[in-house]
Amino acid sequence: MALSYKTRRRLSLLVLLVALPLYIVVAISIVGLFERPPILLELLVYVVLGVVWAFPLKAVFKGVGQADPDEDPRDEL
């Protein structure tokens, strides 16, 4: 199922403004449940968690910063 450009833009905005901050709070809360590990291990955990969220959402963010491919360039004039 291919998402339209406008749907991907709206979904990416929703992810960045709502889901990502929620993910950060949950990740910090889960890491906080355990005894504090050594600083390098804690840094590694946060780096991994900071990158992992983007892989499933790669298709949503792909091409969002580009111009709308479905828009007629003559409409801008």
pLDDT in tens, 12-58: 999 999 999 999 999 889 888 989 889 999 899 999 998 998 888 88
Answer yes or no: is 35 within a domain.
yes
**76: confidence class by pLDDT, cuts 50, 70, 90:** low
Answer yes or no: is 68 within a domain.
no
pLDDT at 2: 78
Q: Is the dihedral of CA 7, 9, 13, 19 positive or negative?
A: positive
Answer yes or no: is 65 within a domain.
no
Answer yes or no: is 45 within a domain.
yes
Answer yes or no: is 28 within a domain.
yes
Six-digit token pair at 24? Answer: 């950060």
pLDDT at 34: 87
pLDDT at 60: 83
**75: confidence class by pLDDT, cuts 50, 70, 90:** low
pLDDT at 21: 94
Answer yes or no: is 75 within a domain.
no
